[in-house]
Structure 1
Amino acid sequence: MMNTKKVTVFYYENISLELNVSTDDYSYNESGRVIIPEEFKENRSIIAVCEGEVNVLNKVGDRVLPIENVA
């Protein structure tokens, strides 16, 4: 049985500037570093990996108005 940690990953899709958040259980190596699968990393830029489930209250862009509402 592999040891896993629940982590929250902050990332950008390579086609968007929207900050995304994903929480999942991942294996980790003997030094404690989480091993994120290549399939998850494909076409993404990972910004941060946090231990545990993070409750995000606000993130960049959450309060930006749609372009059609800008004067």
Structure 2
Amino acid sequence: MQDKQTVTVLYYDFPAGLVMHNVVLKDLPVSEQGRVLIPAAFREGKSIVAIMEGECKMLNSLGERVFAKSDIA
């Protein structure tokens, strides 16, 4: 089992964020059950949507498309 892991976290600002954010967190501890432990300080003020293994780059999200369409209209 791996002691530390890198993950990409997708989240919205809580309570009413409209734009999805992503951040890469490195060297996070892994529990005995194999779950990555996200620090409480990071989780504060966020609504986490997904945690993905490794470094991922978000190309676009629904929130970005909504704002782009409203700029055109």
With the shorter chain as reference, the TM-score category is 0.7 to 0.9
Q: Which runs of 5+ in 2 are unaligned?
A: none
The Cα RMSD (Å) is 2.1
Which residue of structure 2 aligns with residue 65 of structure 1?
Answer: 68
C-alpha displacement of 1:55: 2.0
1:21 aligns with 2:22: yes
Q: Which runs of 5+ in 1 are unaligned?
A: none
Which residue of structure 1 aligns with residue 11 of structure 2?
Answer: 11
Alignment of 1:41-56 (within 5 A): 41-56=43-58
Asked if 1 retains the 8 angstrom alpha-carbon contact of 2:18 and 2:63, the reply is no
C-alpha displacement of 1:66: 7.2
- TM score, norm. by length of structure 2: 0.79
* CA–CA distance in structure 1, aligned partners of residues 21 and 69 of structure 2: 18
% of aligned pairs identical?
37
- 1:60 is matched by which residue type in structure 2? L
* CA–CA distance in structure 2, aligned partners of residues 49 and 65 of structure 1: 26
Asked if 1 retains the 8 angstrom alpha-carbon contact of 2:24 and 2:55, the reply is yes
1:31 aligns with 2:2: no
* CA–CA distance in structure 1, aligned partners of residues 36 and 59 of structure 2: 24
* CA–CA distance in structure 2, aligned partners of residues 56 and 27 of structure 1: 24
SS at structure 2 position matched to 1:61:
helix
> Number of residue pairs matched?
69
C-alpha displacement of 1:42: 0.6
